[in-house]
Amino acid sequence: MDTSAVTPDGRLREKLNAAVVFLGPPGAGKGTQAKELAKKYCVPHLSTGDMLRENIAAGTPLGVQAKPLMESGQLVPDSIILKMVAARIEKPDCSGGFVFDGFPRTVTQAQWLGELLKQHGFKQPVVVHFVIDPALLMRRITGRRMCKIGGEIYNIYERPPIVPNRCDSDGGELEQRPDDREEVVAPRLLAYEKQTAPLAAYFRRLGRLREVDAAKGVSEVSQRVLDIVRGAE
Ligand code: AP5
């Protein structure tokens, strides 16, 4: 029997077989929820932000190009993102579906994704829109810390680790992302409003947008996300 079809406590794992997109401003909780949903369905969590940060850490030409843009809160050009996503989708672990976090971010990216999904035999994505009052985002963003080893997400105000500055899961050191500095938050939010927020209307027109109140606690948001994904045809 395929052991990936069974949970550690012996239950049959639910199948996703769909593309899920998490859309929302920086700090809305997309990464936190995407990790959880992807783990539940045993599918890849495709964060374009994480892919770019991996390229920066490895010093690739792509990373060198992306670094100054990310650190000043601007979007990375569509051409770079599309190449990166196309290569990732080809991998065999994507055959049962995936959870996008931070992609698409422009109308061009969204249109291209629609075509790519068709080519791979998927329907249009289920888009979960994280709706939140922007006033709550500064505290979430500047308080965020991430594990250097496993990328687990904490918040020094809202979700602190048990031992300060250490990951609960693997003991890794926690670090702050360079773009989480207070002075970069405003340009990131502006880029979101100008370039990404119009995607809500785009996916609403396609009948694929579902909203979640992202100001709620993590477990309430998780439940709503799960209800949306289970209810999507
Ligand atoms: P990316 O890495 O995608 O960042 P982002 O979209 O700005 O989103 P964040 O990671 O900041 O927030 P999140 O919504 O995931 O929140 P999280 O769950 O961590 O992009 C970074 C940069 O890369 C971009 O600016 C751009 O330059 C470039 N880039 C990436 N993709 C691109 C693309 N497609 N096109 C062009 N450029 C691209 O939560 C935040 C905090 O809140 C955490 O501390 C968490 O613990 C806490 N928290 C989460 N949920 C809750 C809750 N319900 N209650 C209380 N606290 C909570």
Dump strand ranges (E) for the chain: 19-23, 45-47, 98-101, 126-131, 144-147, 153-155, 174-175, 209-213
Alpha-carbon span 104 to 112, nearest angstrom? 9
- 159 part of the active site: no
**Fold type of domain 3-44+91-132+196-231:** Rossmann fold (3.40.50)
Q: Which stretch of 5-14, 70-79, 205-214 has the lowest confidence by average pLDDT?
A: 5-14
pLDDT band at 24 (very low <50, low <70, confident <90, very high): very high
For position 32, what pLDDT does the model report? 96
CB of 22 sitting under 6 A from ligand 1: no
Mean pLDDT value of segment 23-28:
98
Alpha-carbon span 219 to 134, nearest angstrom? 21
Q: What is the mean pLDDT of the chain?
A: 94
Mean pLDDT value of segment 174-180:
95
pTM above 0.85, yes or no: yes
CB of 224 sitting under 6 A from ligand 1: no
- Using a pLDDT cut of 70, give the percent of the chain over it: 94
Alpha-carbon span 193 to 174, nearest angstrom? 29
pLDDT band at 2 (very low <50, low <70, confident <90, very high): very low
CB of 81 sitting under 6 A from ligand 1: yes
Question: Look-up: residue for tokens 């992807």?
Answer: 38
pLDDT, one tens digit per residue, over 191-218 is: 999 999 999 999 999 999 999 999 999 9
- 230 part of the active site: no
- 118 part of the active site: no
Residue-range domain boundaries for the chain: 3-44+91-132+196-231
Residue 29 Cα to ligand 1 middle (Å): 7
